[in-house]
Structure 1
């Protein structure tokens, strides 16, 4: 799985106006409040980023409701752990500049829009999630937890994650993860819980194949991505939109059997 080292949750549906495709630096306000206790930073978080703050406190950290009388102090105290303070400092240092990520997002969504004109551009923001979910997806928003992308050799990661998990916990996977989970929210598999495992794997393969195509490089490499690549090669007229919207996996399964027979 792409995000074996992380979970993803969907925020309640909310509307988002079209905004420039640039990651909003919510994390900087968060860092200021959590490292210095600057109350003006907290006020700005609540004023400028109310949904992001509610999602972080209530859904991710589960510290209580945003209306609790002492929630701001509980939020501040939670991050006073020395490990979390180090995470904040390291994430802010590593991601002082995110121009490369902004550029990748612009190019990738430009390609996606060519294939899927109705796809709405989401709003992106960065946060420090205390090693919770890497990506948080709302109806039209994508939150990036920078503390989950500090590199496979980051000392703290070695205590909690396998080498396979750590391999994707680095900068180059931020944009692929954003695209993957946003597309999954737009193209969910119907009756997911009752579908055969192969169908689930092929659905993820279609999403990942599309992400690779949008990125212009094959960063996501699983056998199911390769299966979709083989299927598209055999069916060159199929569009990205048709591929993502098709709920019938039997043609792809036939392709798998045909490829196996060719090898035999």
Structure 2
């Protein structure tokens, strides 16, 4: 038997009028300054003001080595001297001069998440340039947004590496839903099955739940898959089921 909350999706009417925002720390600006000019003061500020972000970028996103290695700064700088990556940095600088719209949407989404699952804290959010690696990184109560993965489906260099379906997800509009979905996944990871086939099925079901929840929390329809549609049909039959309980349902028996 499910314990239901009748007001789960009836978000406050003042939500749309709320213009508050979540601070997004612009680590990418210091990164850009160092990678385009070699400005040592920018590198120093990266290491002093953003030590976790710098370590994550170097060790986990770019996989350049240990952040404490003697030549790691030169390796980072040289890595981005490729002409394509320099163009990417310039595109990020141009397209993301202002992120106030994203900050406001982020506030609304995480406010809703806080109402839906109060035990999940609001994370620290920062931006970076990750050379087409991971779109979103989550860890230590932080979310890192790789702006190089959100330059628009018509950004020329993407065509060399991504198909049309992938490029359609690499837009400014995808940032907030992606942050919510990856953050939810960090608290509700996909289960493992007894074999590869079962694991794939469980993962598909689980991702359908996560994406459906992200759509609701961002008041969007960014994620559109067959499993999202199945969750939508399930939730129409269980209109009062809270997001928290949806996420806690066992994927193995869900929607059989």
Is residue 211 of structure 2 the alignment partner of residue 208 of structure 1? yes
How many residues get paired? 234
Change (3 A) 1:250 1:192: closer
Under a length normalisation based on structure 2, what TM-score does the superposition of the two structures give?
A: 0.88
Query: For residue 237 of structure 1, what is the aligned residue in structure 2?
Result: 240
Task: Check whether the contact 1:184–1:207 (CA below 8 A) recurs between aligned residues.
Answer: yes
Query: For residue 166 of structure 2, what is the aligned residue in structure 1?
Result: 165
Deviation at 1:138, TM superposition (A): 0.7
Query: For residue 9 of structure 1, what is the aligned residue in structure 2?
Result: none
For the residues of structure 1 that align with 2:147 and 2:220, how far apart are their CA atoms? 23
Task: Check whether the contact 2:191–2:203 (CA below 8 A) recurs between aligned residues.
Answer: no
Query: For residue 177 of structure 2, what is the aligned residue in structure 1?
Result: 176
Task: Check whether the contact 2:191–2:202 (CA below 8 A) recurs between aligned residues.
Answer: no
Under a length normalisation based on structure 1, what TM-score does the superposition of the two structures give?
A: 0.85
For the residues of structure 2 that align with 1:116 and 1:225, how far apart are their CA atoms? 20
For the residues of structure 2 that align with 1:179 and 1:123, how far apart are their CA atoms? 13
Is residue 253 of structure 2 the alignment partner of residue 250 of structure 1? yes
Deviation at 1:200, TM superposition (A): 1.6
Deviation at 1:237, TM superposition (A): 2.8
Is residue 31 of structure 2 the alignment partner of residue 39 of structure 1? no
Task: Check whether the contact 2:191–2:199 (CA below 8 A) recurs between aligned residues.
Answer: no
For the residues of structure 1 that align with 2:224 and 2:244, how far apart are their CA atoms? 21
Deviation at 1:217, TM superposition (A): 2.1
Query: For residue 53 of structure 2, what is the aligned residue in structure 1?
Result: 52
Give the superposed CA RMSD. Answer: 1.4
Deviation at 1:37, TM superposition (A): 0.8
Change (3 A) 1:207 1:43: same
Structure 1 unmatched ranges of 5 or more: 1-19, 254-264
Query: For residue 221 of structure 1, what is the aligned residue in structure 2?
Result: 224
Structure 2 unmatched ranges of 5 or more: 1-20
Farther-moved stretch of structure 1 (171-180 vs 243-252): 243-252
